[in-house]
Amino acid sequence: MTPGEIRLPEGRLETGWWGPGPEAAPTLVLLHEGLGSLGLWRDFPARLAAATGCGVFAWSRFGYGGSDPVTLPRPFDYLRIEAQQVLPRVLDAIGLRRGILVGHSDGGSIAAIHAGTVPDGRMRGIVVMAPHFFTEPMGLAGVAATARRYEAGELRDRLARHHRHVDVAFRGWSDTWLHSGFPAFFDLRPDIAGIRLPVLAIQGVDDAYGTEEQLRVLEREAAGAVEVMLLPDVGHAPHAEAPTVVLEAVRGFAMRTFGPAAPG
């Protein structure tokens, strides 16, 4: 990884780059989950760059990893703010030319909002892994269970190794999702109806935060082609739990999307 940073008016973002730059190859842009960070992608970016021949770029969003914190509570529309206001400036800062957004969980939701609502001719497709488009009782129960683990201490200790402002990272996620007003507010179906790019949607059958209906609504609502992959015996992190399958799927999607001129 080549470490770096981006400075926006809101503060500093920590970044990482693997493989060729945007002038030499297409770029896969990684968007982490609601408790993720640059470092929590672990070896996935390096393996993705090797598998596809593309450059891979990732960063910690504000409030996560080594990036600057945010003020809590987060607004209910925090995912739209990331997709429509922050992400376009990050893509400009890295000089993106041709790209695919690859988002996990909250990051998948951000990728879908961006594809459905932000005109950007540089984007050629999106990959979403375990995305959220509306709340489900079982998913909210999963968030509540994770919050209890955090209060018990062990999860906080583990996350503190990856987040400079660990309580900001966790509370910004859990307090938003568990707010009594959030379920009525959170509905991304109008956003995803505008997606005209090809989509690869991946989810584990045993995901504790959402059912396959999250992908089925994307399949029904998006204007573009949606390829759905449901992985048995896999939970909320397909790229970590079934890396070989996911890497091959993303490699094939990238080759189909960028065409024969794509490296790798």
Q: What is the pLDDT of residues 178-205, one digit of tens each?
A: 999 999 999 999 999 999 999 999 999 9
CATH of 2-257, one of 3.30.420.40, 3.40.50.1820, 3.40.50.2300, 3.20.20.110: 3.40.50.1820
CA angle at residue 124 from 121 to 129, to 5 degrees? 130
Question: What is the rounded average pLDDT for all residues in the chain?
Answer: 97
Q: What is the pLDDT of residues 130-163, one digit of tens each?
A: 999 999 999 999 999 999 999 999 999 999 999 9
Q: Give the list of residues 6+ apart from residue 152 with CB closer than 8 angstroms, or none.
A: none
Q: What is the pLDDT of residues 98-134, one digit of tens each?
A: 999 999 999 999 999 999 999 999 999 999 999 999 9
Question: Which pLDDT band holds residue 264 (cuts at 50, 70, 90)?
Answer: very low
Question: Which pLDDT band holds residue 259 (cuts at 50, 70, 90)?
Answer: confident
- Helix 166-177 and helix 137-152, axial crossing angle in degrees, nearest 10: 150
Q: What is the pLDDT of residues 238-253, one digit of tens each?
A: 999 999 999 999 999 9
Q: Give the list of residues 6+ apart from residue 13 with CB closer than 8 angstroms, or none.
A: 5, 6, 7, 59, 60, 61, 62, 67, 68, 90
Residue listed under structure tokens 């041709």: 98
Question: Which pLDDT band holds residue 41 (cuts at 50, 70, 90)?
Answer: very high
Q: Amino acid identity, residue 165?
A: H
Beta bridge partners of 228: 201
User: Domain-by-domain residue ranges, the chain?
Assistant: 2-257
Average pLDDT over residues 68-76: 98
Q: How far apart, in whole angstroms, are the C-alpha atoms of residue 31 and residue 110?
A: 8
Q: How far apart, in whole angstroms, are the C-alpha atoms of residue 220 and residue 19?
A: 35
Q: How far apart, in whole angstroms, are the C-alpha atoms of residue 26 and residue 232?
A: 31
Q: Give the list of residues 6+ apart from residue 185 with CB closer than 8 angstroms, or none.
A: 76, 77
Among 217, 73, 76, 207, smallest CA distance to 143 is for: 207
